[in-house]
């Protein structure tokens, strides 16, 4: 079988399984199976695949056809300037969360040594990206899931970025003093999760996706650790920016604003904490 034939077969299998981007996924999986970049494969469709190579590709395609997230199969995923290790212990970092980081960096601009807390760090994506792009920042990251934290620590070691990690349940409250608290909390309802794509519904950790009470709990706990003028930045579910803004208002946050993700949906809500009220 040639590479071109292998790719066409993989694409058909993935399309039949309902994978949204079967061609791109087939190419990325072929790259992983053959140890080559996707671009390198373009120039060589006539290349004969060895038995080992075609079997390796077949195994990866079967995993993806079972709707395992592409990121878990590849074992790594890009987030901002970083390539992070990801597997079933953590949520796959999303493009909308890159926008959350962007907003945090804007709020931190001008602060030389800001203290930052990332609540529910998962792979460490937000914490590591902020520490990477604002080198003066002293970043702490917490998560209730010990296995997620183990992976976040691996990512910190692999990228050489300094973040302090701690296992903690935000519902037990927060400690310290921070210029900025950021979180992409679980925000899918138990009913909604059953309607989502299999990749999310069947593969990503429920502890990372399902939880309606977390957003308000984080906003409340953050109020106890934010310095005067410090900011809370939250990723929110599509359609919930208004509701979360009201929660922040009731808790006493000021300058509450929401921002859009790359597709124009309001997915980021922020507020400023003033201790002089």
Ligand X SMILES: C[S@@+](CC[C@H](N)C(=O)[O-])C[C@H]1O[C@@H](n2cnc3c(N)ncnc32)[C@H](O)[C@@H]1O
Site for ligand X, residues 246 to 265, rule: CB under 6 A: none
Residue closer to ligand X by CB (options 148, 233) is 148
Instruction: Kindly state the smallest distance separating residue 156's Cβ from ligand X, in Å.
Output: 14
Q: How far, in Å, CA of 84 to CA of 159, rounded?
A: 8
Instruction: Please pick, from the candidates 171, 206, 228, 250, the single residue that binds ligand X as defined by CB under 6 A.
Output: 171
Residue closer to ligand X by CB (options 56, 142) is 142
Instruction: Kindly state the smallest distance separating residue 238's Cβ from ligand X, in Å.
Output: 14
Query: Please, are residues 119 and 218 in contact by the beta-carbon 8 Å criterion?
Result: yes
Query: Please, are residues 199 and 94 in contact by the beta-carbon 8 Å criterion?
Result: no
Compute, in degrees rounded to 10, the torsion defined by CA atoms 113, 114, 119, 120. Answer: -40
Helix (H, G, I), strand (E, B) or coil at 12: helix
Residue closer to ligand X by CB (options 198, 211) is 211
Pick the stretch among 4-12, 46-54, 68-76, 113-121 that binds ligand X (CB under 6 A). 113-121
Contact between 122 and ligand X by CB under 6 A: the answer reads yes
Instruction: Please pick, from the candidates 139, 208, 222, 268, the single residue that binds ligand X as defined by CB under 6 A.
Output: 208
Query: Please, are residues 140 and 149 in contact by the beta-carbon 8 Å criterion?
Result: no
40 alpha-carbon distance from chain centroid = 28
Instruction: Please pick, from the candidates 7, 57, 99, 145, the single residue that binds ligand X as defined by CB under 6 A.
Output: 145
Pick the stretch among 28-36, 46-54, 114-122, 257-265 that binds ligand X (CB under 6 A). 114-122
Instruction: Please pick, from the candidates 185, 199, 248, 271, the single residue that binds ligand X as defined by CB under 6 A.
Output: 185
Instruction: Please pick, from the candidates 6, 22, 31, 120, the single residue that binds ligand X as defined by CB under 6 A.
Output: 120
Instruction: Please pick, from the candidates 48, 162, 169, 202, the single residue that binds ligand X as defined by CB under 6 A.
Output: 169
Q: How far, in Å, CA of 97 to CA of 95, rounded?
A: 5
Residue closer to ligand X by CB (options 123, 140) is 123
Contact between 207 and ligand X by CB under 6 A: the answer reads yes
Query: Please, are residues 166 and 146 in contact by the beta-carbon 8 Å criterion?
Result: no
Helix (H, G, I), strand (E, B) or coil at 185: coil
Contact between 125 and ligand X by CB under 6 A: the answer reads yes
Helix (H, G, I), strand (E, B) or coil at 86: coil
Residue closer to ligand X by CB (options 3, 222) is 222
Helix (H, G, I), strand (E, B) or coil at 179: strand
Contact between 121 and ligand X by CB under 6 A: the answer reads yes
Residue of 273, 176, 168 lying closest to 220 (CA atoms)? 273
The strand order across the sheet containing 138-143 reads 164-167, 138-143, 115-119, 178-183, 226-235, 266-272, 254-260
Instruction: Please pick, from the candidates 19, 57, 91, 130, the single residue that binds ligand X as defined by CB under 6 A.
Output: 91
Instruction: Kindly state the smallest distance separating residue 168's Cβ from ligand X, in Å.
Output: 6
End-to-end alpha-carbon separation of the chain, Å? Answer: 71
Name the site residues for ligand X (rule: CB under 6 A): 90-91, 93, 97, 119-123, 125-126, 142-145, 148, 169-171, 184-186, 207-208, 211, 214
């Amino acid at each position: 079988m040639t590479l071109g034939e292998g790719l066409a077969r993989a694409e058909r299998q993935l399309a039949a399984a309902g994978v949204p981007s079967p061609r791109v996924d087939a190419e990325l999986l072929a790259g992983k199976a053959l140890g080559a970049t996707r671009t390198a494969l373009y120039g060589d469709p006539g290349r004969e695949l060895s038995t080992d190579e075609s079997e390796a590709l077949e195994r990866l395609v079967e995993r993806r056809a079972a709707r395992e997230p592409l990121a878990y199969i590849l074992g790594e995923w890009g987030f901002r300037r970083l390539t992070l290790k990801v597997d079933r212990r953590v949520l796959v970092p999303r493009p909308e969360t890159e926008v959350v980081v962007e907003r945090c960096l804007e709020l931190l601009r001008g602060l030389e040594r800001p203290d930052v807390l990332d609540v529910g760090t998962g792979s460490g994506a937000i914490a590591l990206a902020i520490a990477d792009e604002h080198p003066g920042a002293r970043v702490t990251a917490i998560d209730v899931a010990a296995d997620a934290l183990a992976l976040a620590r691996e990512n910190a070691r692999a990228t050489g970025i300094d973040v302090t990690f701690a296992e903690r349940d935000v519902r037990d409250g927060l400690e310290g003093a921070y210029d900025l608290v950021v979180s992409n909390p679980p925000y899918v309802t138990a009913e909604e999760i059953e309607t989502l794509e299999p990749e999310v519904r069947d593969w990503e950790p429920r502890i990372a996706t399902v939880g309606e009470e977390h957003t308000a709990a984080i906003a409340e706990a953050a109020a106890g650790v934010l310095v005067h003028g410090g900011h809370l930045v939250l990723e929110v579910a599509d359609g919930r920016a208004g509701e979360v803004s009201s929660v922040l208002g009731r808790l006493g946050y000021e300058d509450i604003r929401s921002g859009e993700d790359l597709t124009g949906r309001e997915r980021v809500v922020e507020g400023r904490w003033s201790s002089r009220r």
